[in-house]
Each structure stands twice: as C-alpha cells, then as structure tokens.
Amino acid sequence: MTRFINLLTVIRILLAPIILLFLIFGEYLLCIFLFLLAGMSDYFDGYLARKYNAESQLGEILDPVADKILVVFILIGLSVNLNSYLMAVMSSFIISREIGVAALRDYAARNDMSHKTKVTFLAKSKTALQLFTIMLYLIALSFNLNLLIIIGDISLIAATLITVYTGYEYANKIFEK
C-alpha cells in the first residue's frame, strides 16, 4: 500500500510539467482537469496513508515536495502566460521561501531539531490558498473572466504574505534560544 500511496505523490510531480506545457499551448480546460487530478492525488495519498497506517518517511518528504513542484511550475507558467509582473514577483517570493524552508529543514535534520520544522496548520492553509489561487487563474483563463484575474491577484498577494510569514515562523523556531 505504501508504494501505491507514494506513486500517487509521484503522479502529482509528473503532472506539474505536463500542466505547464498545456498552459503554454493555451489548453486551459485541460489544465483545470489535470490540476484537479493532481489535487485528488494529494487528497488520496494522505487519506490512504492515514487510513491504512501506511505513512512513510519517503511519503513525508515527497508529499510537500510534490505540492511545491506543482505550485512552482504552474505559477511560472501563469506568470508567462498572463505576462504578469505582479505574479512573477509574488512567485519569486514563494519560490524563495520554499527553498529557504527546505534549507532550514535540512539544517534541522542535521542538528536533531526536525520537530521544529513539522508542517503547521498555517503552512497547510498557505498551500490550500496557493492552490485555490491557481484554480482561480485557470478558470479565469478558460472562460476569459478578467474580474477573476483581479480576484486571483488579490488572493495571490494574500497567499504570498502567508507564505513568507510561515517561512519566518520556521526560521524563528530553528534559531530561537
């Protein structure tokens, strides 16, 4: 069962560049479908791991990495597709935070402090808001809804602020005395 659960996570990683390609070619409805498929894989890998007590170290590492890969690929694709400087800047902050937190987790693991970098509720909420924001943009592109792009921009700014704040929280926990 653990192999199947990890396969679901790997599928999410593989979907990221595929969605990016379809974004480039303007196949937005297909992007929505694949993005929903990725979201379902995220839900089911966690659900099945808990239900069958099949959680693994590999799964604990891969699951958040898969989320980050999916978000990064799509945000970059949307930045180019929408020709949005705002999205490019916000994406840069999000990507920087993800790299920083990965470094903090590595540092914590090397110094027996992994408990300080466990995923928090706010960090999970951050991911949910990022995914929601991406869906807003994909729907806006699919149906040519400019107002939804503006709402997506507002949501992206909020997601970025939460993203940066959670990075600060992790750093604070690691370096507190």
Q: Express each pLDDT in 10-49 by its tens digit.
A: 999 999 999 999 999 999 999 999 999 999 998 888 888 8
120-172: pLDDT as tens digits:
899 989 999 999 999 999 999 999 999 999 999 999 999 999 999 999 999 99
- CA dist 140 and 11 (Å) reads 25
How far apart CA 20 and CA 13 sit, in angstroms, is 12
> What are the pLDDT digits (tens) for 77-109?
999 999 999 999 999 999 999 999 999 998 998
With a cut of 80, say whether residue 177 has pLDDT above it. no
Q: How far is residue 46's CA from residue 28's CA, in Å, rounded to a whole number?
A: 27
pTM here?
A: 0.91
Kindly list the structural domains of the chain, giving each domain's residue range(s) and its CATH number in brackets, ordered by start: 2-175 (1.20.120.1760)
Q: For 12-79, give the DSSP string.
A: HHHHHHHHHHHHHTT-HHHHHHHHHHHHHHHHHHHHHHHHTT---HHHHHHHHHHHHHHHHHHHHHHH
Give pLDDT, residue 104: 93
pLDDT for position 59: 84
Phi and psi of 20, rounded to 5°?
A: -60, -45
**Paired tokens of 27:** 């196949």
The pLDDT, as a whole number, for residue 49 is 87
CA–CA dist 67, 30 (Å, integer): 19
| Residues recorded for the chain | 177
